[in-house]
Structure 1
Amino acid sequence: MAPIPAAAPFSASFPIRKVADVQRLEQTPLSQALTVRSTYEIFRNSAAAFGDKTALTFLRTGNPADEPIRWSYAELLAGIHRTANLLHRLGVGSHDAVAILLPGCLEYHLALWGAGAAGIAQPLNPLLTDEKLVALMTAGRAKVLIAYGAEGDAGYWSKALRLRDQVPTLTTVLRVAPHDEAAGSVGALPEGVLDFTVACTAEPADRLVSGRDIAPDDICAYFHTGGTTGAPKLARHSHGAQVFTAWANVMMVGLGPQDISINGYPLFHVAGVLPASLASLSAGVEVVMPTTTLLRNREVLSNYWKLVEKYRPTSLSAVPTVLAALANVPLDGADISSIRYCRTGAAVLPPELAQRFEQLFGLHVHESLGMTEMAGISTITPPGVAGPAGCVGLRLPHSQLRIVALDPQGQATHRDLPIGEQGMVLFKSPNLFSGFVDPADNAKAFTDDGWLITGDLGWLDAGQRLHLSGRAKDLIIRSGHNIDPKAIEDALGAHPAVQLCAAVGAPDAYAGELPVVFATLAPGASATEEELLAFTAERVDEAPARPKAVVLIPQMPMTNVGKIFKPELRALAARRVAEALVGEACAALGLLAGTHPLVRAESDKALQVTIDTAAVGAQQAAALQAHLQQTLGRLPLRVQIVLH
Structure 2
Amino acid sequence: MKPVAAYADVLRIEEHGWPTNLPSSTYDAIRQGAAIDPDAPALSFFMSADKLGETEVWNYRDLLRRITQTANAFHELGLRKDDVIAFVLPNLPETHFTIWGGEATAIVAAFNPLLEARTLAALLTAAGAKALVTLAPFPGVDLWSRLQPELAGIDSLQHIVQVNLADRVQGPAKEMARQAQQGEVKKLHGDGGVQAGLPAHVAVHDFWTIVDRQEGDRLCSDRQIVAEDVSSLFCTGGTTGLPKIAMRQHGAEVANAWSATAFLGDIIGPGKTLFCGLPLFHVNGVIVTGLVPFSKGAHVVLGTPQGYRGDGVVAGFWEIVEHFKINFFSGVPTLYAGLLLTPVGAHDISSLEYGLCGAAPMPVEMFRKFQEVTGLQILEGYGLTEAICVSSINPSQGERRIGSIGLRLPGQAMKAVMLDDEGHYSRDCAVDEVGLLAISGPNLFCGYLSAEHNEGLWLDCGDGRRWLNTGDLGRQDADGYFWLTGRKKELIIRGGHNIDPATIEEVLHQHPDVQLAAAIGRPDAYAGELPVAYVQLKQGSRTTEEELAEFARARIGERAAQPKFIRLIDRIPLTTVGKLFKPALKKREIKDAIADALWNAEIEFVEVSVVEEPGQGTRIGVDLTNAEDEDRARVVIGNFSYPFSIRTTKNL
After TM superposition, the score normalised by the length of structure 1 is: 0.74
DSSP-derived class of the 2:313 partner: helix
Match of 1:262 in 2: 275
Are 1:40 and 2:52 counterparts? no
Could you tell which deviates more after superposition, 220-229 or 270-279? 220-229
2:217 is aligned, of 196, 202, 206, to 206
1:116 aligned partner: 103
1:132–1:232 CA contact under 8 A, matched in 2: no
1:307-357 Cα deviation digits (max 9, x unpaired): 111111111321011111111111112111111112100111111111111
Residue in structure 2 matched with residue 236 of structure 1 by the alignment: 247
After TM superposition, list the pairs within 5 Å mapping 1:33-112 onto structure 2: 34-63=21-50, 65-112=52-99
What's the offset of the Cα at 1:120? Answer: 0.4
Is 1:428 the counterpart of 2:416 in the alignment?
Answer: no
Number of the residue aligned with 2:409? 396
In structure 2, what is the Cα distance between the partners aligned to 1:341 and 1:528? 33
* Corresponding residue for residue 174 of structure 1: 161
Residue 138 of structure 2 contacts residue 164 of structure 2 at CA under 8 Å; is this kept in 1? no
CA shift for structure 1 position 48: 2.3
Distance 2:255 2:105 in 1: 20
TM superposition shift of 1:456: 1.4
Residue of structure 2 in register with 1:467 after alignment: 483
2: distance between equivalents of 1:361 and 1:249?
Answer: 25
Q: Distance in 2 between matches of 1:534 and 1:545?
A: 17
Give the superposition deviation at 1:231.
1.7
- Structure 1 counterpart of 2:119, from 132, 136, 141: 132
RMSD (CA atoms): 3.4
Deviation at 1:430, TM superposition (A): 0.8
Q: Give 1:28 shift.
A: 2.0
Question: Hey, what does 2:507 align to over in structure 1?
Answer: none
Establish whether residue 14 from structure 1 lines up as the match of residue 5 from structure 2.
Answer: no
Cα deviation for residue 406 of structure 1 reads 5.5
CA distance in 1, matches of 2:221, 2:604: 63
The answer to whether structure 1 residue 441 and structure 2 residue 473 are counterparts is: no
8 Å Cα contact 2:436-2:470 kept in structure 1: yes
Task: Note closer, same or farther for the CA distance 1:539–1:139 as it changes in structure 2 (3 Å cut).
Answer: closer
Alignment of 1:155-304 (within 5 A): 155-178=142-165, 179-180=168-169, 182=175, 185=179, 186-187=181-182, 189-190=194-195, 192-226=203-237, 230-254=241-265, 255-304=268-317
Deviations 1:576-620 (A, max 9, x none): xxxxxxxxxxxxxxxxxxxxxxxxxxxxxxxxxxxxxxxxxxxxx
Distance change (3 Å), C-alpha of 1:412 and 1:152: farther
CA contact (8 A) 1:412 1:424 kept: no
> Partner residue of 1:356?
369
Contact persistence 1:424–1:455 (CA under 8 A): yes
Check the 8 A contact 2:275/2:330 in 1, yes or no. yes
- Partner residue of 1:573? none
Alignment of 1:502-513 (within 5 A): 508-509=572-573, 512=581, 513=584
Relative to structure 1, the CA distance from residue 316 to residue 385 in structure 2 (aligned partners, 3 Å threshold; closer, same or farther) is farther
Counterparts of 1:358-377 in structure 2 under 5 Å? 358-377=371-390
State the one-letter code of the partner of 2:124.
M
Letter of the 1:334 partner, please give it. Answer: H
Q: Secondary structure at the match of 2:15?
A: coil
Measured after TM superposition, the shift of residue 65 of structure 1 is: 4.8
* CA shift for structure 1 position 373: 0.1
1:66 is displaced (CA, Å) by: 3.5
Aligned to 2:474: 458
**1:503·1:517 contact (CA, 8 Å) conserved in 2?**
no
Could you say what secondary structure the match of 1:93 adopts? coil
The change in CA–CA distance for 1:520 and 1:258 in structure 2 (over 3 A counts) is farther
**Structure 2 residue aligned with 1:625:** none
TM-score, normalised by the number of residues in structure 2: 0.73
Amino acid at match of 1:214: I
1:159 CA displacement:
3.6
Amino acid at match of 1:211: D
Q: Which residue of structure 2 aligns with residue 527 of structure 1? A: 599
CA distance in 1, matches of 2:419, 2:400: 26
Correspondences of 1:477-556 after superposition (within 5 Å): 508-509=572-573, 512=581, 513-514=584-585, 515-517=587-589, 527-528=599-600, 531=603, 534=606, 536-537=608-609
Aligned to 2:539: none
2:351 to 325, 328, 338: 338
Other-structure match for 2:550: none
Deviations 1:528-547 (A, max 9, x none): 49957747449998999769
One-letter amino acid of the structure 1 residue matched with residue 77 of structure 2: L
Q: Is the 8 A contact 1:446 1:452 kept in 2?
A: yes
Aligned pairs, how many? 519
1:317 and 2:330 aligned: yes
Greater shift in the superposed pair: 365-374 or 180-189: 180-189
Distance 2:229 2:204 in 1: 29
Gaps of 5+ in 1: 1-12, 477-484, 549-563, 565-644
Structure with greater contact order relative to length (CA < 8 Å, sep ≥ 6): 2
2: CA distance between counterparts of 1:152 and 1:269?
A: 26
String of CA shifts for 1:376-430, please: whole Å, max 9, x gaps: 1111223123322221111121211120236679x67422211111111001011
Deviations 1:40-80 (A, max 9, x none): 10122222222121111112211265421111111111111
2:312 aligns to what SS in structure 1? helix
Identity of aligned residues (%): 33
The equivalent of 2:18 in structure 1 is: 30
Cα deviations by residue, 1:219-259 (Å, 9 ceiling, x for unpaired): 01011113797221111110000111111111111221121
